[in-house]
């Protein structure tokens, strides 16, 4: 049985002049695609060249400003003129869409990507954008036996963030009973917890959403945390899973019972009482960045004023007129600093390492009226726009992260990585006039060694304000008055904000998880060396599935929403495999797991983030990259499309 997506194109009621003005603001590649959908005429694709991904290095060397897709202004005008004609005819024809056959669909894909795609790549993209309206990632059982068994297969999902809500939606569609245990009082996970000033996602919102539930109403291109939280909350409502979520409750322990082949999941409920739930499978969707890490600085507890972590921002606190210290200069601090700098009496940023930042002029911009209009009203525009955002983030970037063994440099790992370094350095230099500040903020490690942040200039502008000071001396201790640096200076402050990251290498921490024959996950993994097959399944822990588990974090390869969908797709199909064959449990084979992890480690070791010279939250204290997926996204999509029964023992 297939799941059909709702087609939701609103009528175009605007006058031609208004439409003509709006067309100019649209994404040309997506507009060309919409033209073909409205007209049914693929010959129009010969009028313009295929869009090109203009990488930042290339764009900076162009003498003329190019539109998205690398089109010139003249080409852009010709696309808009033609689009207006097509819209006129489309409306005259009662907005009836011609049926496009597979051949035309393939032409569209080839045009958009600028080359002839192989069958696998086509299947990958077709699934992602679902032009045919079929949601291939959902699951419904074909057989009555499967449907029946599904009703007797209770699942516990841990966490109601992006991954947990997605798993819940998919299980509900499949008719599998489930309960979601959420430690917070609301849906949203990281987007509920992180509400520090300036918190927003640094991936475009139109691709940071479920493929089957596009949001045409994002206020900003890079939405604020509250808008993302609200999006996941509305998905939980819309797909009927909210009532299955138990809030303010926390899983403290999960044990696999060899006799019943079921999990016993111990939950601490909102009233503090412990309760044991029985489940046939457990899906952990706890995220990688949900346990804040306070810095281990002597005297931390002796500070007289408020000291808190960026992810535990106290409600209603105002730092206006206060003397504030921020420890850390990663992704969170990068967003916090420009906001606090506006009103703090003084702001001292204690930086241990600087960050690379990527020029992005629209980073804080609101989505234009024209763009919203097109997303809602131009047939298939939203799908192709999403695809374009996805495509530019997966093509051409991955190679820049790979180490060239013949390249010998401390601050880059290959020629293309070095080109990137030069461009990013020039971007930083262009914003500063003080050589001493430049020296402090210019990273000396390769781009992609740590997460590259989206930047529209607000961060470095904040650092140059009179009330802001960047300190690079180490912090020796904290006392009641403030922070003492290694040069002996005391920095008196009223408030200390620790933007110091998370216990990212402690997967599933602090839950106690026990598998077959009483094996403890913390013994099998060690304190901080999580490993899983495909990031999802772990030998000796049957029917335990992780979403965003070990080695699934993306650095350059598209959106984590896509990755979560690949994982949930795989988990659903594992459950189908169990139910259709009337098995109780599946346990990943050790050799399969080990081989996979060997590959993961080998590839990660050959990347900028795996380089021994670089420190980051992707690695554990032994230097092994435990967070990141080292593959191209299409490779991971292929690996997670369908479970191979030979990879598992079944009971
Ligand atoms: P982070 O990237 O781990 O940054 C932590 C910062 O604190 C680093 O500058 C680190 O320095 C510093 N630090 C840690 N311990 C310290 C200590 N004891 N003394 C002094 N400095 C210390 O954490 P984050 O900024 O919260 O970001 C984590 C991840 O969350 C990001 O990479 C991203 O994936 C995600 N995130 C995303 C967004 C977004 O989408 N916009 C926003 C926030 C976070 P070193 O670098 O020297 O270790």
Q: For 480-535, what is each residue's pLDDT tens digit?
A: 999 999 999 999 999 999 999 999 999 999 999 999 999 999 999 999 999 999 99
Q: Is the CB of 465 under 6 A from ligand 1?
A: no
**Residue 581, number of CB atoms within 10 A of its CB:** 12
pLDDT bin (cut points 50, 70, 90) of residue 558 is: confident
Q: Is the CB of 209 under 6 A from ligand 1?
A: no
Residue nearest to atom 12 of ligand 1 (CA): 328
**Total structural domains within the chain:** 3
Q: Is the CB of 190 under 6 A from ligand 1?
A: no
Is residue 490 located within the same domain as residue 511? Answer: no
Is residue 537 located within the same domain as residue 466? Answer: no
Is residue 340 located within the same domain as residue 457? Answer: yes
Is residue 201 located within the same domain as residue 327? Answer: no
Any domain includes 247: yes
* Nearest of 184, 139, 135, 179 to residue 161 by alpha carbon: 184
Ligand 1 centroid to Cα of residue 571, in Å, is: 31
Q: Is the CB of 376 under 6 A from ligand 1?
A: no
Any domain includes 238: yes
Any domain includes 435: no
Is residue 106 located within the same domain as residue 225? Answer: no
Q: Is the CB of 504 under 6 A from ligand 1?
A: no
Residue 43 has pLDDT above 90, yes or no: yes
Is residue 515 located within the same domain as residue 632? Answer: yes
- Report the alpha-carbon distance of residue 169 to residue 243 in Å, rounded: 12
Ligand 1 centroid to Cα of residue 220, in Å, is: 24
What is the rounded average pLDDT of the residues 272-293? 96
Any domain includes 439: no
Is residue 274 located within the same domain as residue 218? Answer: yes
Ligand 1 centroid to Cα of residue 614, in Å, is: 14
Ligand 1 centroid to Cα of residue 23, in Å, is: 40
Can you give the pLDDT at residue 7?
Answer: 61
Burial (Cβ within 10 Å: 0-12, 13-18, ≥19) of residue 142: exposed
Any domain includes 124: no
What is the rounded average pLDDT of the residues 234-244? 98
- Report the alpha-carbon distance of residue 467 to residue 483 in Å, rounded: 17
Q: Is the CB of 617 under 6 A from ligand 1?
A: yes
- Report the alpha-carbon distance of residue 263 to residue 210 in Å, rounded: 29
CATH code, domain with 275: 3.50.50.60
Could you list the residue range(s) of the whole structural domain that residue 556 is in?
A: 144-291+504-644
Q: Is the CB of 500 under 6 A from ligand 1?
A: yes
Is residue 242 located within the same domain as residue 285? Answer: yes
Residue 131 has pLDDT above 70, yes or no: yes
**What is the b/e burial string over 368-400, where b = at least 16 CB atoms within 10 angstroms of the residue's CB?**
eebbbbbbbbbbbbbbbbbbbbbbbbbeebbeb
- Report the alpha-carbon distance of residue 511 to residue 165 in Å, rounded: 20
Any domain includes 436: no
Burial (Cβ within 10 Å: 0-12, 13-18, ≥19) of residue 17: exposed
Is residue 151 located within the same domain as residue 253? Answer: yes
Is residue 376 located within the same domain as residue 456? Answer: no
Residue partners of 578: CB distance under 8 A and separation at least 6: 153, 543, 584, 585, 586, 650
Can you give the pLDDT at residue 557?
Answer: 62
Any domain includes 129: no
Can you give the pLDDT at residue 393?
Answer: 83
Determine the distance from the C-alpha atom of residue 401 to the mean position of all C-alpha atoms in its chain, rounded to a whole number.
Answer: 18
Q: Mean pLDDT in the chain?
A: 95
Query: Which of 191, 192, 331 to probe ligand 1 with, by most ligand atoms within 8 A of CB?
Result: 331
Any domain includes 440: no
Is residue 74 located within the same domain as residue 52? Answer: yes
Ligand 1 centroid to Cα of residue 340, in Å, is: 17
Is residue 214 located within the same domain as residue 176? Answer: yes
**What is the b/e burial string over 285-314, where b = at least 16 CB atoms within 10 angstroms of the residue's CB?**
bbbbbbebbebebeebeebebebbbbbebe
In ligand 1, the atom with minimum distance to the C-alpha of 331 is 25
Residue 643 has pLDDT above 80, yes or no: yes
pLDDT bin (cut points 50, 70, 90) of residue 174 is: very high
In this predicted model, what pLDDT tens digit does every residue of 64-80 receive, in sequence order? 788 999 999 999 999 99
DSSP type of residue 533: B
Residue 58 has pLDDT above 70, yes or no: no
Q: Are 161 and 599 in contact (CB under 8 A)?
A: no
């Amino acid at each position: 049985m297939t799941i059909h997506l709702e087609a939701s194109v609103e009528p175009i009621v605007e006058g031609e002049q208004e439409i003509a003005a709006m067309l100019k603001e649209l994404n040309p590649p997506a507009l060309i695609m919409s033209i073909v959908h409205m007209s049914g005429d693929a010959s129009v694709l010969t009028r313009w060249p295929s869009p090109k991904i203009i990488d930042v290095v290339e764009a900076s060397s162009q003498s003329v400003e190019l539109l998205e897709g690398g089109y010139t202004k003249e080409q852009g005008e010709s696309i808009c003129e033609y689009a207006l004609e097509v819209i006129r005819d489309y409306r005259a024809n009662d907005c009836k869409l011609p049926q496009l056959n597979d051949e035309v669909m393939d032409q569209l894909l080839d045009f958009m990507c600028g080359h002839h795609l192989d069958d696998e790549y086509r299947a990958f993209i077709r699934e992602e954008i679902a032009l045919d309206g079929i949601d291939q990632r959902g699951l419904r059982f074909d057989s009555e036996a499967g449907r029946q068994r599904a009703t007797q297969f209770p699942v516990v999902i841990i966490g109601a963030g992006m991954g947990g809500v997605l798993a819940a939606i998919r299980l509900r569609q499949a008719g599998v009973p489930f309960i979601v245990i959420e430690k917070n009082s609301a849906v949203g996970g990281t987007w509920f917890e992180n509400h520090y000033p300036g918190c927003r996602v640094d991936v475009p919102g139109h691709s940071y959403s479920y493929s089957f539930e596009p949001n045409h109403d994002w206020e900003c291109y890079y939405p604020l945390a509250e808008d993302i939280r609200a999006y996941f909350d509305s998905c939980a409502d819309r797909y009927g899973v909210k009532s299955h979520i138990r809030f303010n409750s926390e899983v403290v322990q999960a044990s696999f019972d060899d006799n019943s082949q079921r999990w016993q999941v111990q939950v601490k409920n909102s009233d503090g009482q412990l309760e044991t739930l029985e489940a046939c499978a457990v899906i952990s969707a706890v995220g990688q960045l949900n346990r804040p890490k306070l810095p281990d600085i002597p005297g931390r507890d002796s500070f007289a004023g408020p000291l808190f972590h960026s992810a535990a921002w106290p409600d209603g606190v105002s730092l206006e007129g206060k003397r504030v210290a921020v420890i850390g200069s990663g992704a969170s601090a990068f967003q916090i600093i420009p906001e606090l700098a506006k009103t703090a009496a003084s702001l001292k940023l204690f930086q241990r390492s600087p960050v690379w930042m990527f020029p992005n002029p629209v980073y804080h911009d609101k989505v234009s009226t024209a763009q919203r209009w097109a997303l809602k009203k131009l047939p298939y525009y939203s799908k192709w726009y999403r695809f374009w955002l996805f495509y530019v983030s997966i093509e051409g970037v991955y190679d820049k992260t790979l180490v060239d063994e013949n390249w010998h440099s401390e601050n880059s790992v290959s020629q293309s990585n070095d080109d990137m370094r030069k461009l990013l350095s020039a971007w930083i230099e262009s914003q500063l006039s003080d050589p001493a500040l430049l020296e402090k903020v210019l990273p000396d490690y390769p781009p992609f060694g740590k997460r590259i942040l989206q930047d529209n200039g607000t961060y470095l502008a904040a650092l140059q304000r009179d009330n802001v000071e960047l300190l690079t001396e180490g912090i020796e201790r904290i006392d009641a008055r403030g922070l003492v640096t290694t040069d002996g200076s005391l920095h008196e402050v009223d408030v200390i904000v620790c933007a110091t990251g998370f216990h990212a290498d402690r997967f599933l921490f602090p839950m106690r998880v026990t598998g077959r024959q009483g094996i403890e996950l913390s013994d099998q993994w060690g304190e901080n060396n999580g490993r899983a097959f495909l990031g999802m399944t772990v030998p000796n822990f049957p029917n335990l599935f992780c979403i965003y588990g070990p080695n699934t974090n993306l650095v350059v390869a598209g959106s984590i929403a896509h990755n979560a969908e690949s994982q949930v797709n795989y988990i659903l199909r594992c459950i189908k495999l169990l139910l259709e064959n009337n098995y109780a449990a599946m346990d990943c084979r050790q050799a399969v797991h080990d081989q996979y992890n060997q590959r993961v480690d080998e590839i990660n070791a050959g990347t900028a983030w795996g380089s021994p010279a670089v420190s980051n939250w992707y690695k554990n204290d032994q230097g092994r990259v435990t967070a990141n997926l080292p593959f191209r996204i299409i490779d991971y999509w292929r690996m997670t499309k369908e479970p191979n029964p030979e990879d598992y023992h079944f009971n």
